[in-house]
Copies of this chain bind each other. A is one copy, B any other.
């Protein structure tokens, strides 16, 4: 049995690890487009901020760790085609050599590519001009070289999603004056604007200049550095002269390899797989950011996350060996740290719930993370969404200071959602309490009780 995985990031490596774990006799090869297998893409902002000593520390496992599991790695090797009937993968090595690799089962985890938004003048610009995207280790090294070469005093970040916010913090930490431009009405648009506003205030507090409801329309070389033009919420012209531009407005699935082999695509152009991670092409499995996401509440969608890629990859690796694993589905659980604030969410927000056929109501509460009499108590803003018809818990969004255990409080909601609990039922959970770290009804339960009071009215 020879299993070949394409992709050295979360999905491909997880599949390979799982296969080796379950069957140490299985031959497993991972084809990696670059030289950086199993790197933590989510850690890149912390390397660029200067908080991670050496880029090699970003590896979840070293090359030696990976080979010690018995898998074989083919680095700097691009998969260019799949001969589905012949079960052969076409490869191009870094020196241009074309070759093929036979497989019994194939797991494709080609991941995603950064979206380049339609900004006039953007296409011809690149790293040499101080204009960057950020997704791979090569992108990271390119940006690092620009930071070293240009020594920017100012930077403009297009986008205020997770990566944009982390990079706003990271570049600020390096002493760079950051301007951040977000098209939507509030930063961190994956949470409700009421909670995003708390993150916005945290950016303000740390000196980031934030423009929401604003677009970047043009970028070009200026007299010294880059000249950027845009439009504010009322269409008023905006202009900035900066030393560096970073475009981080999301990703799209890198599905070309699978599509060329005949795979079907679904939401956002991601490859359709079932819950076993089967593509429908014989002996071809796929996982991670290149495939659709089964969401426990929404059905088939596209929601690329590292946690999901790990789970999908693990399922694909098991099934490539003949297993019967199923991906249990995502709840879109996410968390981000922005300076001293932590913002998290799981499940559905109102507009998503409405689209999914629910009748959602949301309530916001601000319970303290622990008993107020014990020093250091801080409020966590918690917005609970539930269905008024069934009483089902639909989702939760939380924003709290670092140290309030907000990142793991969202997990309690995620676990409750996994099991389809009602908002009222959430109060039955036996959660931990000690005055320095909680309250007899945990903050998460005080928030669901606030929802219950609101929905009774």
Contacts and interface: CB of A to CB of B under 8 A. Distances in A.
Interface of A: 10, 21, 40, 42-43, 46-47, 51-52, 57-58, 60, 296, 305-311, 314, 328-337, 342, 344, 346, 371-375, 403, 405, 407-412, 414-416, 418-419, 425, 427-438, 440-442, 444, 453
A430 B46 contact: no
A432 B333 contact: yes
B311 A427 contact: yes
A83 B290 CA distance: 72
A97 to B, nearest CB: 34
Given A344-B432, A418-B429, A432-B344, A442 B411 contact: yes
Contacts of A331: 430
A301 to B, nearest CB: 13
A40 B377 CA distance: 15
B412 A418 contact: no
Which interface residue of A410, A430, A431 has the most chain B CB atoms within 10 A? A430
A311 B428 contact: yes
Contact of A306 (B40, B43, B433, B444): B433
Contact of A42 (B307, B344, B434): B434
B419 A431 contact: no
9 contacts: A21-B453, A305-B433, A346-B432, A403-B403, A408-B438, A411-B442, A412-B412, A414-B429, A415-B416
A305 B373 CA distance: 20
Contacts of A314: 427
Nearest to A335: B432
Which interface residue of A344, A436, A438 has the most chain B CB atoms within 10 A? A436
A410 B52 CA distance: 29
Contact of A374 (B51, B307, B436): B51
Contacts of A440: 10, 42, 60, 306-307, 309-310
A87 to B, nearest CB: 30
Contacts of A429: 411, 414-415, 418
Contact of A432 (B21, B40, B408, B432): B408
Given A431-B333, A432-B334, A407 B306 contact: no
Given A342-B437, A412-B415, 14 more contacts: A10-B440, A40-B371, A43-B371, A306-B433, A307-B431, A307-B433, A335-B433, A407-B434, A408-B408, A408-B432, A409-B411, A411-B429, A411-B442, A419-B419
A288 to B, nearest CB: 12
Contacts of A407: 405, 432, 434, 437-438
A375 B405 CA distance: 17
Nearest to A326: B428
A414 B435 contact: no
Contacts of A332: 430
Given A408-B409, A411-B411, A336 B434 contact: yes
A51 B435 CA distance: 12
Contacts of A311: 427-428, 430
Contacts of A60: 440
Given A437-B342, A440-B307, A373 B40 contact: yes
Nearest to A295: B430
A373 B57 contact: yes
A403 B408 CA distance: 11
A411 B405 CA distance: 11
